[in-house]
Amino acid sequence: MENNIISYRETGIDKFLGYNNQEKNFYRFKIEGRNQEEHFSITLTSNEIDNLFEQFRFHSEINIIKDNYCFTAINNLIKKNNFLQLSLQLSENQITEEDFEKELDENIGNYLIEMKNLVNSSELKIISNILLSIGKSFSVDEVSELFSVDLKSMNNELLTLYK
């Protein structure tokens, strides 16, 4: 029975050694820190490793969706601010109504928040977690505008999510 090193990665802080025992279908990992006291070993079967990587993939996908919604919210706040600034210029007679209309027509992407349908309830939960992190209450219209999603058709799901 021979253990072969199947992977090795060293960073400035840690060493990672993976051993494969093909006869017994398990993998042993040893992770070491900078000194002798900072290390541990773990043994996993190939099924456990597959499940672990599936969990990493799942959480990675959720983080990508969460990041996309955060970027959308920031971009939509910028668009709303741009529109409010343009409206203020109009109300203070800094620009004419014709200039206002022309600016909107020529640069609609700077002002228009496009709405899309929410794909599934998992995305709704991701949005809910983002809002909980902010710690402020939002109306359905505010959430729709922030994240560019049409939530009016999902009122029943919204109610069950917040119970």
Report domain extents, the chain.
4-52, 55-161
For residue 127, which amino acid is it? I
Q: 75: which strand partners?
A: none
Q: What is the mean predicted confidence (pLDDT) over 73-95? A: 96
116 closest CA partner among 148, 73, 89, 147: 148
Q: Are 18 and 32 in contact (CB under 8 A)?
A: no
Q: State whether residue 145 is helix, strand or coil.
A: helix
Interhelix angle 46-91/97-106, rounded to 10 degrees, is: 160
Q: Within a 10 A sphere around the Cβ of 69, how many other Cβ atoms?
A: 19
Mean pLDDT rounded to a whole number for the chain: 77
CA distance 75 to 71: 6
CA distance 124 to 118: 7
Q: What is the pLDDT of residue 36?
A: 59
Indicate the pairing of strand 15-21 with strand 116-117: unpaired
Going 132 to 138 to 141 to 145, the CA torsion angle's sign is negative
Tokens of 43: 């043994």
Q: What is the mean predicted confidence (pLDDT) over 64-74? A: 94
Report which of residues 84 and 54 the model is more confident about: 84
Q: What is the pLDDT of residue 98?
A: 97
Question: Is 60 exceeded by the pLDDT of residue 67?
Answer: yes
Q: What is the pLDDT of residue 89?
A: 96
pTM: 0.64
Widest CA span in the chain: 85
